[in-house]
Structure 1
Amino acid sequence: MKDQGRSTRKRTGGRLKHASNKKRHQLGREPAETTVGETRVQYIDSRGNEKKVRALSTNVAQVADGDAVSEAEIENVVDNPSNVNYARRNIITKGAIIETSAGRARVSSRPGQTGQVNAVLID
């Protein structure tokens, strides 16, 4: 689990002394790590009686080319700047370059938060 607490360093770069131990309510959730495959989603309760749709895997992307938006099949992940191993494992995150049936596209949505992949053609 990821700790969502305060930073361990000051603005000047010095270390902060801990005022208290880590608490359970400060923990985040495990990342969704959306993969390329048959569409699977998970619904998560969120703050304010809302729900988050977490895409566990998907093979469809909404690809924008100027003003036109079309649905395209995701073939694989070409590059992922957030983690060098994500491209090898076909994990889709925001900013990832994906190969689609419409061409190469950059992911502009957060599939682990919204449950869908929106992308913009870059070719």
Structure 2
Amino acid sequence: MKFQGRSTRKRTGGRRRHARNKRKYELGDEPTETELDEPSLKTIDARGNTTKVRALSTNVASVADGDEVSEAEIENVVENPANPNYIRRNIITKGAVIETSEGEARVTSRPGQDGQVNAVLVE
């Protein structure tokens, strides 16, 4: 078991073994794979006195074209550099190219963390 950021080797080249298991607060959550469907949000408690809104599914995006921002209907996922299988499953993540009623746009927000889809039109 590795801890993120910690090298498994010492300065001398010797091996560094982990001293304990991960604690509950060190575990990560499963990624929220935002699907293309009717909007559905989920609020979760984050660390500290914070909450995060996760978009479980959505079909609306705020699309920016220069200074103009408009609401657009998401029709399809065209490209997703995060995972090629996400295109077939219509999963929206940051960096994904989506087909909207305004044209093709690249997602700039993180729907699984922000609860909304912000995008910029692709020329």
Give the structure 1 partner of residue 113 of structure 2. 113
Instruction: Sort the Cα spacing of 1:84 and 1:4 in 2 relative to 1 into closer, same or farther, 3 A.
Output: farther
Q: Which runs of 5+ in 2 are unaligned?
A: none
* Superposition TM-score, scaled by structure 2 size: 0.88
Note if 1:80 corresponds to 2:73: no
Q: Distance in 1 between matches of 2:9 and 2:98?
A: 37
Identity fraction in percent: 65
Cα deviations by residue, 1:37-83 (Å, 9 ceiling, x for unpaired) = 10000000112222110000000000000000000000010110011
Q: Size of the alignment, in residue pairs?
A: 120
Q: Which runs of 5+ in 1 are unaligned?
A: none
Note if 1:33 corresponds to 2:33: yes
Structure with bigger gyration radius: 2
* Superposition TM-score, scaled by structure 1 size: 0.88
Contact 1:4 1:26 in 2 (8 A): no
**AA matched with 1:118:** N
CA RMSD, aligned part only? 2.2
SS in 2 for 1:20: coil
Q: Distance in 2 between matches of 1:74 and 1:99?
A: 6
